[in-house]
Amino acid sequence: MANVRIRVAEIFGPTIQGEGILIGLPTVFVRTGGCDYRCAWCDSLHAVDPAYRNDWSTMTTDAVWAKVKALSGGEPVMVSLSGGNPAIQPFGDLIRLGHEARYRFALETQGSVARDWFVDLDVLVLSPKPPSSGMDTDWHAFEDCLRAAGEGPQTALKIVVFDETDYAYARKAAARYPQLPLYLQPGNHTPPPADAQDAPIDITGVMKRMHWLVDRVARDRWFEARVLPQLHILLWGNRRGV
């Protein structure tokens, strides 16, 4: 139903996708409010922490779709559904409306909540959170997400890595799901930040982790892994709406 309501933190773009399988691709972002996780190094607290709830909007599917079309000038573009955890929002009708107009949809989630509309996505990025996040991975829920997606979207695995413990976690996760293309990303904070939304980005620290991660992957002959930075962080830090 087009009057289904979605909790939205911000809608912005077109800009480029800053990370993962679609890095560099022009994209409109629909960032939802609310998350079932509380990662120690979250860089999107404005879309996670209930303290920001008054900044979120409850929008109908039609209203979200109208905003996406206005931002893209009616030209089909990739739409990234992000958060928070966008899987807790009802996106099925938005995806249907967009597909009718030749828009494509990507979603990134930690894999904690499976939805039947995952099968209608064009791209699904599953990003389980490593030990540095302070969260535990429910692999049964993760596999429910894979089953919900089925053969519908292009599905990939993306893992943030801060240290050797995270790296070992990533190795095990990749071995568990060898069928998924793997993307590794150096974390952009030394956890826990004082305020993840407003804290300045330590670009030197990010690049040191990037160099370490590249060297580690190469030394281990882990040739299936792709190591990428968060391009948007290098360009804009943690500014909202870019």
Which one has a higher pLDDT value, 187 or 213? 213
Mean pLDDT of the chain: 91
* pLDDT above 80 for 238: no
Q: What is the pLDDT of residue 194?
A: 39
Q: What is the pLDDT of residue 192?
A: 45
Q: What is the pLDDT of residue 50?
A: 86
Q: Is 242 exposed, middle or buried (0-12, 13-18, 19+ CB in 10 A)?
A: middle
The side-by-side arrangement of strands in the sheet containing 5-16 is 57-60, 5-16, 26-32, 78-82, 104-109, 123-126, 154-161, 182-186, 225-227
Question: Where in the chain are the domains?
Answer: 5-236
Number of neighbours of residue 225 by Cβ within 10 angstroms: 21
- Answer whether 223's CB lies under 8 Å from 197's CB: no
Band (pLDDT 50/70/90 cuts) for residue 230 is confident
* pLDDT above 70 for 46: yes
**Residue 202 has which token pair?**
């330590």
- Please state the pTM of the whole predicted model: 0.91
Q: What is the pLDDT of residue 200?
A: 64
Determine the average pLDDT of the residues in 11-40.
94
Tens-place pLDDT, residues 117-149: 999 999 999 999 999 999 999 999 999 999 999
CATH fold of 5-236 reads TIM Barrel (3.20.20)
